[in-house]
Copies of this chain bind each other. A is one copy, B any other.
Amino acid sequence: MSNIADISEVSDIPKKSDRTRQAILNAAAKLFKERGYTATTLRDVADEAGMKAGSIYYHFDSKDAIMDEVLDTGIRAVYGAVKEAIEACEDDANYREKINASVHAHLKMLLSQGDFISANLRLYSQLPEEIRARHQKVRHEYADLWDQLLTEAKNSGYLRKDTEITPLRQFILGALNWTIEWYDDEKYSLDTFTDRCVHFIAHGIYEK
């Protein structure tokens, strides 16, 4: 059950406190994703993290604060992965390659590092306004990253001239994001799967 957040752990020997903190976040992300924010109790989280509910408060100020960090970790992870993927493309003007790489990166993060990002995507619309407000900014930045990519692709002739960027971006990400509802890593390897998705996105479902 590797998790993006673990990656961000760079210090040599993580202290006990940090490990516990991370355990709480991992547990919370998993349960939030599965059951939603309100339906997940702190007792559940504590159980999953191997501790008692009260102990959570040594590491976090509130349930909200945990959710905040889960959401933030999730979106930043995808953002970073996609950005890197774009920048790694050798031919700077090959937007087909860039878009494919982005789709790959987004999907891969989504499906492999799962809980944090899934929680973010799945629950965002259901969150109390108060929490949601705190995360609009990062989400917008990620949307902007895609919009910029797609706009350039369009200007370079890769997309039809009458393509509207915003709905396109929403459609692409939507198609990708919903995969977390049903992707089964025991049936298809991650790479096979993402390849196939990239193909659908690019060429649609029909023969030729």
Contacts and interface: CB of A to CB of B under 8 A. Distances in A.
Interface residues of A, number: 43
A159 B36 contact: no
Number of copies: 4
Contacts of A196: 167
Nearest to A163: B205
Contacts of A157: 207
Interface stretch (A22-30, A68-76, A175-183): A175-183
Given A125-B181, A174-B178, A181-B125, A206 B39 contact: no
Contact of A203 (B175, B197, B203): B203
Interface of A is mostly: helix
A14 interface: no
Interface centre among A96, A125, A128, A173 (most CB of B within 10 A): A125
A200 B177 CA distance: 16
A201 B175 CA distance: 10
28 contacts: A34-B125, A36-B38, A36-B39, A39-B126, A122-B125, A157-B207, A159-B207, A160-B207, A163-B205, A167-B188, A167-B196, A168-B200, A170-B178, A170-B181, A170-B182, A171-B179, A171-B200, A172-B205, A174-B175, A174-B177, A174-B178, A175-B175, A175-B178, A201-B205, A202-B204, A203-B203, A203-B204, A204-B204
